Amino acid sequence: MVRNRPRGENIIRFDNVGLRYGLGPEVLQDVSFALPAGSFHFLTGPSGAGKSSLLRLMYLGLRPTRGRVMLFDRDIAQTQRYELPALRRRIGVVFQDFRLIDHLSALDNVALPLRVRGVKENEVQKHVPELLSWVGLADQLQSKPPTLSGGQKQRVAIARAVIGRPDLLLADEPTGNVDDHIAMRLLYLFEELNKLGTTILIATHSEQLVGRFSHHPRLHIEHGTVMQVS
Amino acid sequence: MLGRRSDLPLRGDATSRYLPWLVALMVFLSAVAIAGAFALNGMIDRWDRDVAGTLTVQVTPVTGDGGEALTEDRVKAAAEVMRRTPGILAVRPLDKQQTLALLEPWLGSTEVVQDLPLPRLIDVTVDSDARIDLAAVSERLTKAVPGATIDDHRVWLSRLINLSRTIQWLALAIVGLIGAVTSLAVIYATRTGMSVHHGVIEVLHLIGAHDDYIARQFADRAFSLGFGGGLIGLGMAVPALTAIGWAARRVEGGFVPQLTLPFTAFVVIGTLPAVAAVVAMLAARVTVHGSLARMP
């Protein structure tokens, strides 16, 4: 799925974006930044700073109250609603609360992005077990989320986000519930994906994790504003 | 359609468990209404056919001494006028016993009216292709036999047909209302289902599912529930209609014409489960599309 896009060209760009929920105060104010294609960023900031809201804007779960969001060279405000699913399919998302579907097996959860794209079932049955094996869940293919541990759920969520080889991967605290060994393994998986061309943004409040991968730049969010930190 | 994969756990939904029973009841009522409309149509056709080729001449009786013989003369004179009229195929005066026999279903024993001066009737069969000027025939008849009247049954029939047609339209309106109520029930069940499974729908939406991918899953479920319920309703309607037909055949004396349904009626009633399923499917699909359109 990853398109060959020249590195340096922006995958996503925010210009003076503001966001408020209902009539409440702005949770994001004048946010401006850009993620070049093929980049790997961390998004850091304290709890409640607006990391999840920023990610929701990026994966098109919300529309900004003001400002301009450019995604894959498309101005989201000018994009017709029926065109949005095609853009969403180019984004892989690891939700903070996993958002796995409880009545579906791990295999079916991971297969969802492929099935909504109409990928043939024999392809699904070939690639999904392969990826689940890679994240250490080869013996849990038919297990349903309620029977999995927090760490296992997280790995299923990550597998679901990357199965479609997205152009942009957004992960909200993807290593929050796993031990160090698994966390490193997942980060290496993200780096592998990044080498293949996927643009990565990982939201975390773990300074330890960011420190270990300090060669990647980060965006820091605090009080609803974003700063680029090299 | 019935065996397609569903990502939404709609099978276990408590909100849609009652839906097949509701559809069953609706299909049952629709089947009865449609059967009624078709049966009425058949009755109207039969009345029309029976009456179209006949006229009835009524001769008032003469009372007093020798009245019987004078009445008989009047009947003969009236019959002669009718026989001379072009387009008349047969003229059959009814004697007093035959006239009394016609009254028997209403009065029971006719012994009490044996001595009453009863009007005499002449049954006239008309060539259905002939154009008879009834006004002219009636004038000739009145000149020959004062007090004789001619009845082509049209006034009586047209009132009966009007009533029957009104009942038919009412039956069709009931079927339309039943369709509307079924759609509303499906819309309510679908909205409740969407609310219950909002989380799953949001995930599907965010990973790039088109609205139709999600709507199709609700529509498939509504179709299978509607079809199942429709079959139950049809299963209830068949014995009920058979029982009504059997009861109607048992009524004696020709008060109720024989109730028979044409082949088309069986076809229409037989397709009701499929129609109910399609209505449910469309209602669910439109509802889901409407709700999803409000998502970003």
Whether residue B174 lies inside any domain: the answer is yes
Measure CB to CB from residue A63 to each of B203, B209, B296 and give the nearest one: B296
| Dmax (CA) of chain A | 50
Q: A69: phi > 0 → left, psi -120 to 50 → alpha, else beta; which? A: beta
- For residues A101 and A145, is the Cβ–Cβ distance under 8 A? yes
B204: chain A residues, CB-CB within 8 Å: 112, 116
Whether residue B3 lies inside any domain: the answer is no
C-alpha–C-alpha distance, residues A172 and A184, integer Å: 16
For residue A183, give the amino acid letter: A
How much of chain B, in percent, has pLDDT values that exceed 90?
A: 41
Domain shared by B107 and B143, yes or no: yes
Structure-token match 């009132």, residue found = B159
Name, in order, each residue with C-beta under 8 angstroms of B94's C-beta and a sequence gap of 6 or more.
B102, B120, B121, B122, B123
B202: chain A residues, CB-CB within 8 Å: 61, 99
Measure CB to CB from residue A104 to each of B7, B207, B293 and give the nearest one: B7
Using CB atoms within 10 Å of the CB of residue B161, give its burial: 0 to 12 exposed, 13 to 18 middle, 19+ buried: middle
For the segment B123-164, what is each residue's pLDDT rounded down to a tens digit? 988 887 777 788 888 888 889 888 888 887 777 777 888 888
**Count of beta carbons in the 10 Å neighbourhood of residue A70:** 17
Both tokens of B76, joined, read 């003969």
Domain shared by B275 and B212, yes or no: yes
Least confident of A139-148, B165-174, B207-216, B229-238: B165-174
| Confidence at residue B43, expressed as pLDDT on a 0 to 100 scale | 80
Structure-token match 């970003």, residue found = B296
| Confidence at residue B253, expressed as pLDDT on a 0 to 100 scale | 53
Domain shared by B241 and B119, yes or no: no
Structure-token match 């998986």, residue found = A189
Among A21, A58, A71, A99, most B C-beta atoms within 10 A, so best to mutate, is A99
| Confidence at residue A1, expressed as pLDDT on a 0 to 100 scale | 47
- Which candidate, A123, A96, A125, A146, places its Cα nearest to that of B9? A146
Q: What parts of chain A have a pLDDT lower than 50?
A: 1-2
Per the structure, the complete domain to which residue B89 belongs is given by 61-147
Structure-token match 């005499």, residue found = B120
Contact state of B293 with A89 under an 8 Å Cβ cutoff? no
Domain shared by B217 and B269, yes or no: yes
Domains of chain A, CATH where assigned: 7-90+166-230 (3.40.50.300), 102-165 (no CATH)
